[in-house]
Amino acid sequence: MKKILNNIIIGCMAVTVLNSCDKKLDIEPEGSPVTGNFWKTSADAVSGANALYEQFDGEEFYGRGFMWYINASDDMVTGRSNAKAENVKNFNSATSGVSYLTDQWKMRYIVIKRANDIILHVPAINMDATLKNRILGEAYFLRGLMYFQLSYNYGNDNAGVPIITEDNSTNADAVVRAANVSENYKLVESDFKKAASLLPYFDTYKAEDYGRAHKTAAWAYLSKMYLYTKSWASAESYADSVIKSNKHGLLTNFADVFTIANNWTKEYIWSALSTPKGTGGWGSILPGVMLENKGWGKYNGWGYYTPTKELYDAYETGDKRREVTILKPGDAFKFFGKDTIYGSNNSLSGYQFRKYMEPFSYASPIGSYISPNGDHPTTALNPPLIRYAEVLLIKAEAELMQGKNADAEINAIRNRAGLTSVTGANLAELKKQRRCELAGEWADRHRDLVRWGDAQTVYAQPLHGFSGAVIWPARTFNPAVHNVWPVPTTEISNSGGVIKQSNGW
């Protein structure tokens, strides 16, 4: 992992001839032409592949920004007063101009631009065929993943997101939005399939390459995409591809999933690569963002995304996942090497997510387990983006939607949680297990509620804190409008109006 992080930096330096690695870069247009004498050697190809991952260090990529979309769900609230974030959670029209979200679109198109450059130029390079396939596979995987995330957040039947591939990446003109999101999903499907055909299995990588795209990650995301397109048989088939590969499995103890030692064990499929090393760390800042605001005087926690009583109460009695997932007042935990009793000075709900707390448990963790820079609070823990448990739940959902029995997959999840098996599990049980298993993760509870058609009803109810008091009022969710997030106003402006806003926003 250390080598891949070093290589990302080196790769960014190498591709400055293509486009700057500055996090604040504006790509206008996203498909600007490549110049110079790059893309001639194997080393150029490797540098280009390394640069694909550079944006992952952005504060808003897999840290605070993207999580504001997930924060709209009933599982969490903003945590402390923040007017901009409250606009997002309340589906206000001002969401399109919220600065936290401005870079979501742009950063993903930067990755797409770099993937397009690889797909366009690497095939002509005379180099080792195995390495070439891996690099092309990484490009297809990350382009597919970026389009998947853009599509489900911004695309619907009325409009998709602009499609920029190697075929039109040198076009200097802004690109209009796809006619509908189905056009985007066709590209996502193709990219993930190409990636899977080219990439190696994760267990063939040396430790220095951990964090690179791999075959079962492509299959896993392909199966998830098929849930969004309601292609149930295909979702089941590709989930089975992951399961039957025998490369993954559930860890015996749920709590072990969220430990540094298990970043790369059998439940891992794809995570937000992170490290506390260096002057400011690198990767996802989510653990620090979820930490108590000001970290009880020991670290600059940000105090966002605090669980609701609704989430806490969703767990059955005896469900081991609840205490692993949520800290409530009076709970014992270890912080900076000391036994501590949880109590919040400022959490709106009174709760805190516990899943990402291990790096803060050690004595003198700064520099070893958590970033020296509390303004960029990365850790040695890689927050999971998709893991094996979710693949089982994807298969279960696909089975149920086809009228099949999904007890085997659902009971595997229940049994690890310390719960007894059920017979004839239905969709309500599946929804409960997705919620309780994946709370506070990138699985995206909000997007689940939207695609299930449950969001309007769920959001019409207020949310409560530990004391039982209402901490967030009922919200108005219009399925015809709020089934997508608004395109950032900066993108509409930068395109000269070529890119149009989603209907109703």
**pLDDT score, position 26:** 29
pLDDT exceeds cutoff 50 at 18: no
The residues near 266 (Cβ < 8 Å, ≥ 6 apart) are: 247, 248, 249, 250, 251, 388
Average pLDDT over residues 346-359: 97
**pLDDT score, position 20:** 38
Please, which residues bridge with residue 339 across strands? 334
pLDDT exceeds cutoff 70 at 10: no
Q: What does the domain layout of the chain look like in residue ranges?
A: 2-213+485-494, 286-381
Question: DSSP alpha helices (H): ranges in 254-305?
Answer: 286-290
Q: Which pLDDT tens digit goes with each residue over 301-324?
A: 999 999 999 999 999 999 999 999
| Percent of the chain's residues with pLDDT above 70 | 93
pLDDT exceeds cutoff 50 at 28: no
The pLDDT mean for the chain works out to: 93
Average pLDDT over residues 242-254: 98
Question: Rounded to an integer, what distance in angstroms lies between the CA atom of residue 369 and that of residue 335?
Answer: 12
The pLDDT confidence band at residue 172, using thresholds 50, 70 and 90, is confident
Q: What is the 3-state secondary structure (H, E, C) of 120-189?
A: HHHHHCCCCHHHHHHHHHHHHHHHHHHHHHHHHHHCCCCCCCCCCCCCCCCCCCCCCCCCCHHHHHHHHH
pTM: 0.94
**pLDDT score, position 7:** 64
**pLDDT score, position 426:** 98
**pLDDT score, position 16:** 44
The pLDDT confidence band at residue 37, using thresholds 50, 70 and 90, is confident
* Assigned CATH for 2-213+485-494: 1.25.40.390
The pLDDT confidence band at residue 129, using thresholds 50, 70 and 90, is very high
Q: Which pLDDT tens digit goes with each residue over 396-426?
A: 999 999 999 999 999 999 999 999 999 999 9
pLDDT exceeds cutoff 70 at 30: no
